Amino acid sequence: MYENGTGNILPYEVVVNYFAQLHDSDGVLRLYNNGNHPEIEGFVNWVNALTDDEVEGFYSRIQNIIGEYFLANRAEGITRPRLEDMTPEVLDALARKEANPDYELDLSSLMSD
């Protein structure tokens, strides 16, 4: 949603790693808005500007994609996990499908690991 909304690419791991640390490598308290982490500052500002309707709309569209995918592929025997339990790779594929309806979604290969 961030990439589609801003054009900025910020990998999931970068965000998780940033927020997993309380201090920067020099021991100073980690603040996203001190000029040392502009990519995180941009992300936080974008998240804070989202409306509930925007978040709920995105969540609803993703849920619809999941439902359609699992309905169409139930013969493959994969179980539909909760959105909250999906890996970053699966979530990325779902977001790509939401942004581009022509994107070829293949969750079974991503979930077979």
58 with 109, same domain: the answer is: yes
Same domain, 43 and 77: no
- Do 104 and 73 fall into the same domain? yes
State the total domains in the chain. Answer: 2
Q: Is the pTM of this model over 0.85?
A: no
pLDDT value for 110: 81
- CA 105 – CA 14 distance, rounded (Å): 24
Is there a single domain that holds both residue 59 and residue 44? Answer: no
* Same domain for 112 and 98: yes
Q: Per-residue pLDDT for 112 more than 70?
A: no
Q: Write out the residue range of the structural domain in which residue 2 sits.
A: 1-50
Residue 90 near residue 111, CB atoms below 8 Å: yes
User: Alpha-carbon Rg of the chain, whole angstroms?
Assistant: 17
Shared domain check, 98 and 65? yes
> What is the predicted pLDDT for the residue at 75?
66
Residues 40 and 76 reside in one and the same domain: no
Q: pLDDT of 48-94, one tens digit each?
A: 999 999 999 999 999 999 989 888 887 666 677 888 888 888 988 99
One domain for residues 63 and 110: yes
The pLDDT assigned to 85 comes to 87
Q: Which residue has tokens 């909304």?
A: 5
pLDDT at 9 over 80: yes
Answer yes or no: do 37 and 73 share one domain: no
